[in-house]
Amino acid sequence: MNLRTRIQKSFNGHTPRLQALELLKYIGPGFLVTVGFIDPGNWASNVAAGSLYGYRLLWMVTLSTLMLIVLQHNAAHLGIVTGLCISEAATKFIRPWFAHLVLGSAVAACISTALAEIMGAAIGLNLLFKLPLRIGAILVSTAVIWLLLSNGYRRIEKLIIAFVSLIGLSFLYELSLVRIPWAEVATGWVTPAIPLGSIPVIMSVLGAVVMPHNLFLHSEIIQSRQLNQKGTDVIEKQLRFEFVDTLNSMVVGWAINSSMIILAAATFFASRTTVTELGQAQAMLRPMLGQAAAIVFGGALLMAGLSSSVTAGMAGGSIVAGMSGEPYDPSDNHTRLGIMITLLGALLIALVITNPFKGLIFSQIALSIQLPWTIILQILLTSNPRVMGKYVNTILDRVLLWTTTVVVSGLNVLLLVDTLRNLLR
């Protein structure tokens, strides 16, 4: 029995009387996506943003989260209405050459994502237990592959919700130890600023929040429930419930990402200290905030790396399975191939990389470069009446989605110009 059938059976024949209780039944997909943008790549990008520029780049977290809400809801919309994930829908409705080009680059983006996740978890193990990074990366990869191939979707969902909660509590504890100028923070959240030399960091923050693999993952998780087969009333109700789940989850992610930048700004920027790696960040927190704060930092990083490695592997498996016209199913060879390509490809890079912190930053930049292509593919699908029927994107939906694409593409151009300028110096 594949994942789609198991999940569908678990929801059949059960209609709670209270809508609040029914909503709880659909909580989960949003949090699986949330863990993807509070991953170690975010930690590296946010620590760099806060330590180098204080609170001035908080606006990028706000902008990225707003774009993320629009994109993730649209991806989930596709899954609910069609019963297909983005990869399956692209294979079915888009010209093969374009679909394969974008989906192939999306697999590469999943590998880049998994690299950040595995390295982050390995750094967490190193900070807590002094385990060498390469050994930690091997252990993390092995554990994640076992978990994904063991077919434990429900166990994974509960585990990740617990991890997200613990990570959030960890940062609340860290923030309680420092003095924060909340007026300056509030200004940073809503005032765009591009300090000199900040474009690579801004792009890494964007790539760390709005991630291609999360769009594929969200559509896959939602479509696995096959709500499209239950009639118009069910579809429309679930679109509302999904939006609440997505909105709540994205707000949680926004708060945690903001906390990372605020903590770095309040400690490292305030003391004029430049942080070049996550291990250095933990070591410097110890004399500033105490041993407990340093342990909490390492533990939260380990949880973030493990849980986001799982979702990266799921996304890779979903994309490769979709390219064969199949749903995600860990017992199927195509899904298994996608999982193994994603995680073993990332592990191979992790074993040869020389600077883990810079690797995390550049992995996020790579994601932000691939992101516009995934967004364009998604818009083409959800704006197509053949795919969506009467649930096709409205004019407002298209304006929001294409505006997001233009913003992301514009930032990519700025990154390219900045990179070429530095190479020519």
**pLDDT tens digit string along 377-392?**
999 999 999 999 999 9
Take residue 357 and report the two structure tokens written for it.
Answer: 């912190």
Q: With CA atoms as reference, report the closest residue to 80 among 241, 246, 219.
A: 219
> Which parts of the chain have pLDDT scores under 50?
1-24
Say what the pLDDT of residue 355 is.
Answer: 76
How many other CB atoms are there within 10 angstroms of residue 173's CB atom? 15
Say what the pLDDT of residue 30 is.
Answer: 67
pTM: 0.83
Task: Report the distance separating Cα 339 and Cα 319, nearest Å.
Answer: 10
Residue type, 119: M
| Model confidence pLDDT, tens digit, residues 344-378 | 999 999 998 887 766 766 776 777 778 889 999 99
Cβ atoms of 235 and 227 within 8 Å: the answer is yes
Task: Report the distance separating Cα 189 and Cα 200, nearest Å.
Answer: 19
3-state SS, residue 195: coil
| 399 Cα distance to chain centroid | 24
Helix ranges restricted to H, 179-231:
182-190, 199-209, 212-223
Say what the pLDDT of residue 21 is.
Answer: 42
* Cβ density class 264-297: b for 16+ within 10 Å, e for less: bbbbbbbeeeebebbbbbbebbeebbeeebbbbb
| 51 Cα distance to chain centroid | 22
Cα atoms in the 13 Å half-sphere on the side-chain side of 185: 17
Fold of 3-424: Amino acid/polyamine transporter I (1.20.1740)
Q: With CA atoms as reference, report the closest residue to 243 among 26, 25, 7.
A: 26
Residue type, 252: V
Task: Report the distance separating Cα 124 and Cα 97, nearest Å.
Answer: 41
